[in-house]
Amino acid sequence: MACVVGHAGSSSAASGETESVHLHFTREERLAGSCPGAERFTKALRAQRPRLVLAPEDTPARTFDVHVRRVGREIAGELVIVELDGTTSRRSMQAPDCPSLVTALAVITAIAMDEPPPSVQTDDARAPGVPAIEPLSEPPSPAPEPVRSDAQDASIAPATPILAPDRSFLVAGIGTEVVLGSLPRAAMGYRGYVEWQRLHGRVAFGARLSLAFARAGLPETRKFDVIVQTWTARGEGCIARELFRTMTLEACLGASFGAYHSFNTNVPDARDDVRPWLTLDAGTRLRWHPGASPFFAEVHGAIGYVVRSYAIVADDGSNAKYEAPRGIGALGFGVGRSFDLP
């Protein structure tokens, strides 16, 4: 997807006049749904250079071409500067996500616009009749060298390091899990959650609230059909770290609370036992984002310490009973989606 942002003017340090600058922004078509476009780039650039002005279409000027594309599993951005004499220079960089990359490219472009064209520097040096400038009593400290890329398009940082801005986002997910220990036998349970995260670089901190349900029957009963089920809510504090461009590892600590419910399905007016259920939990999850998509798949596991356990006994002469151990666990799989917050 290609779109022309416009033609802007920036101050030329060498001549004191306004330099007309052609500015273009393009991105791959497949990134259109997940990557900001020309409007977001222009807004970020104007935040750095609020006095940018448009210039006539046919004005000879330096050209700044910004292009965002996918390279394997990574999102890469490139700034190509075309001088009036046809020479070019390139600057490229990468970021964990496309919005951060576009913002950083706007900063790099603003820095590059402040650098006078090489032709201006050369012409000033060779101009005849220019009077010599008396040296200052105390020469100023030298300016930092402008950041330039090599011919191999290597990733180059400006003189001041550019960090991806902090971002907040919401995550929602659903999944299924094998419940181990809390029920009379291993059983499939279901869990849904919402999560808030704050991303700083490649590390995110957040909090998650999930709701879960699971049930299983008491085995080896003779007459009764005893069912045990759990209804729980879990609150967790989490920290996540990006392993690769499309994969993150998350670790959480928290507690689950809810109801431990046992009942008989084939005895009229049988007693229902509903008891409080509390566990202290630790878990981890591995999350995979395909490309730059906001959707993801994940595998997760958790272990828990049961604060209080209960004995479930079938009163039918079978002596069938179950009492959850102090240590329980779960292994599961799920899918979800992330939503950027303003």
Instruction: Annotate 263-328 with DSSP letters as a single string.
Output: EESSSTTPPPEEEEEEEEEEEEEEEE--TT-SEEEEEEEEEEEESS--EEE-TTTT--EEE--SEE
Strongest mean pLDDT among 105-114, 120-129, 148-157, 277-286: 277-286
CA nearest to 289, candidates 240, 226, 253:
240
Which SS3 state, helix, strand or coil, does residue 83 take? coil
Which SS3 state, helix, strand or coil, does residue 39 take? helix
Whether pLDDT at 147 is above 50: no
**pLDDT tens digit sequence for 152-182:** 333 333 333 344 457 788 999 999 999 999 9
Residue 136 confidence (pLDDT): 43
Whole-angstrom distance, CA of residue 269 vs CA of residue 286: 46
Q: How many residues does the chain have?
A: 342
CA dihedral 319, 320, 321, 322 (to 10 degrees): 150
| Maximum C-alpha span of the chain | 115
Reported as half-sphere exposure (CB side, CA atoms, 13 A), residue 337 has a value of 2
Whole-angstrom distance, CA of residue 123 vs CA of residue 192: 67
* CATH 3.30.30.10 is the classification of domain 167-340: no
Average of pLDDT values for 269-277? 83
**pLDDT tens digit sequence for 313-329:** 877 667 788 899 999 99
Residue 152 confidence (pLDDT): 37
Start-to-end C-alpha separation, the chain? 25
Structural domain boundaries in the chain:
2-125, 167-340
Average of pLDDT values for 106-113? 86
Evaluate whether 187 touches 179 at the Cβ level (below 8 Å). Answer: yes
Mean pLDDT of the chain: 79
Whether pLDDT at 257 is above 70: yes
CA nearest to 224, candidates 263, 264, 185, 184:
264
Residues linked to residue 236 through DSSP beta bridges, in sequence order: 208, 254
User: Nearest 5°: phi and psi at 100?
Assistant: -65, -35
Whole-angstrom distance, CA of residue 214 vs CA of residue 192: 12
